[in-house]
Structure 1
C-alpha cells in the first residue's frame, strides 16, 4: 500500500475543493467554497508552524496521499480547542418530569436545550475519503492517524474530545430536523444555512435561535424521528468512534440533529494502547500489522506498517513503511495494532 498521512499544504487547495464538491452537503468542515478552504489551509499551516506546545484555537488538517500518483485521496481535521473564536452550540436532549396530584398522573416531556457545554473540548472532524478509495482500510487509517497525532503532541490538546456526525439528509439535500425546528426561525433552507455557517461561522445562531427549551412533541414526526441519528453513510464512522471509546451523551447538532460523540482523550483506544520504539533495522518480514507514525508537527507521517518488536523494546519495520515514513535505523516511531 502506497498511502501515507501527512500535514496539509496550501497546494492541496484544488484537491480539497474537488473532494468538497463530492460530499453531498451537510459537511460543514469541508465546504465547497474555495476561499473558505484556502483559509482553512492557511490556519492549518500556522498551527503546524506554531512553536509553543500549548492549547489554542488551532486547526490541523491532515491529508491522505497516494505516493505513487501524488493524488490526494482523503482528508481529516483536528480542532485543538473549540468555542474560542465563536460559541460552539449543541442541543442537549433531556427530560422534564412533572406530576399532577389532582390527575394522579406523571408527565415526562422530552426537550432540546441550546447549550455550549462542549466549549473548550478538542474536536476530530472533517473526515472525507474520496469515493474511489473507499476500500482497504483507508478510512480507518485517516481516522486513527488523528489520535496518534494528538498523542505525539499531547500538550496542545485538552482533556476531552468530541466528534460530530452528519445527521440525516434527504434525497433533495435537505434536513428534516432543520425544516422542523430551526428553519422556522431563520427564513432559509438547510443548504443555505449550512453554507453560511461553513463560511461565516454560527454567530447567527446565537442572534436568531430561541434560547428557551424546545419540546420535541411540538416538532413534526419527520424531525423527531431523526434526532440523534447519523446519516446512513456515517454509520461506519459512528462504529469506529465507538470502538475508540467515544459515546453518545444526548447532544445533537443544531443544524441536522446528528449525534455528537465524546470521550476522554487519554481513554481513546488508539492513544491509550499506542507504544513507542526505536528502530533497530528496516527489514521486518514478519510481526504485527500496525498503524505507525513518526515526526513532529509539519514532519508528521503515518501509515500502515508491519512491525516486529524485540525483547529489548527495539523494533524492526518493513521497508515499504519505512520509505513512506522517511525513517531509518535509530529513529523513533509510535505504533498501535490495527
Structure 2
C-alpha cells in the first residue's frame, strides 16, 4: 500500500538517499544531510504552530507500507521571498520603432524580477525511479494540492511551481553557459548547489539588474528559454492538468519555466468533496450498491496528521466505503469523514454522478 504522510525525523536517511538520485538542477533537494535535517525541523515547527509565515513549509513523503520504505518526497513553501529575495526572469518584449526610417523591431528581453514574492510554492517533487508506475507520481504530486484545497487559509491565494530547465547528461546548461557564466564565472552545477543550500545573496550581488536582450544569447540558449528538462516533463504535465500555466517567468540559472495559478482555480479545489465513511472488512468491500471504477485521492481531514492514498471509490447510503486496512493507514475511525477528489480531470463527472446516486 502506498500512503502520503508528513515527514518525520526518522525519514532523514531515506530523504538523503533520494537526494543522491536527483541529479544536477534539482535545487530544492540538495544532497546535504545537515540541510535536510534543518528542513525537517522547520517542517515540524510549522505543523506545531511555532514557525513564522516566512519560515513555514510542508514536506510529505510517499511510503511503501509493505516495506516501510520512503520512496518519494514532495513539498510546499508557504510564502516565498520574505526572508531572502525570490528571483526569476520575466520574459518580456521591448519595441523599437522609427516611423521616418520605416523600421519596427520587437526584441525579447529578460528582466530580473521579484514578482512572485509572497506566493506559495510547490517544490521538491522527486520519486524513486523504481516506483515510477501505478500512478505513484500523480499521487505524490497531487496530494499536495489536496492538502492545500482543505487548508487554504494557510497559503497564499497564488501558487507557483518551478520546473527544472534544460541541461545535458553532464549537467551543462546552454542558458547558463551563454549568460550566467559571464557574471558568475563558476559552473552551473556549483551555482545550483549554492542556491539549494540557501546561499542566494550572490544572485543580487552579481546579476545585472537591467533588461537583457535575448537575441544576444547563443541560439542554443534562446531555444531552451521556458523549456522543461526531459525528466521533468511528466511533472509539468501533471500540474498543467490541474490548471497551472506558464506565465512568462523563468529560472535565472537554467531558464526553466515557472507555472502559476490562483489556488481557487485549481481543478482539485473545484472538485473537492467530503463524504462520511463506513468502515467494512476487506471481504465485504465489494457488496456496495454504487461504484465508480476510477481512482481518486482520499485523505483524512487532519492538518498535522494528514494522510492520503488512492482508492477506487465505492459508495453506499451516502457514505464512502473504507476497508479496515485503509482506515488504519489514513488514521480514520468510525464516524469520521474524508476529503476526496478524482485523480484525473476526466472523471469529475463520474464522481458527481456517483455522489448523486449514493445520496
In the other structure, the counterpart of 1:304 is 310
In the other structure, the counterpart of 1:45 is 44
Cα offset, 1:198, TM superposition: 0.9
**Which ranges in structure 1 are unaligned for 5 or more consecutive residues?**
none
Cα offset, 1:310, TM superposition: 4.3
Corresponding pairs, count: 335
Give the TM-score normalised by structure 2. Answer: 0.90
Instruction: State the distance in 2 between where 1:281 and 1:69 align.
Output: 25
In the other structure, the counterpart of 1:31 is 30
1:53-72 residue pairs with structure 2 within 5 A? 56-72=54-70
In the other structure, the counterpart of 1:209 is 207
Give per-residue Cα distances to partners, 1:221-269, cap 9 Å, x unaligned.
1211100000001111111111000010111011110000001101111
Cα offset, 1:51, TM superposition: 6.6
Correspondence 1:327 to 2:332? yes
Q: Secondary structure at the match of 1:276?
A: strand
Q: Secondary structure at the match of 1:281?
A: strand
Instruction: State the distance in 2 between where 1:81 and 1:276 align.
Output: 28
Give per-residue Cα distances to partners, 1:163-183, cap 9 Å, x unaligned.
000000112112111111112
Instruction: State the distance in 2 between where 1:24 and 1:328 align.
Output: 42
Give the TM-score normalised by structure 1. Answer: 0.95
CA contact (8 A) 1:278 1:333 kept: yes
Cα offset, 1:74, TM superposition: 0.1
CA contact (8 A) 2:301 2:339 kept: no
Q: Secondary structure at the match of 1:193?
A: helix
Q: Secondary structure at the match of 2:224?
A: coil
CA contact (8 A) 1:168 1:231 kept: yes
Q: Secondary structure at the match of 1:196?
A: helix
Correspondence 1:294 to 2:317? no
In the other structure, the counterpart of 1:268 is 266
Q: Secondary structure at the match of 1:278?
A: strand
Cα offset, 1:21, TM superposition: 0.8
Cα offset, 1:55, TM superposition: 5.0
Cα offset, 1:148, TM superposition: 1.1
In the other structure, the counterpart of 1:184 is 182
RMSD: 1.6
Give per-residue Cα distances to partners, 1:196-239, cap 9 Å, x unaligned.
11113322101111000000011111211100000001111111
Q: Secondary structure at the match of 2:93?
A: strand
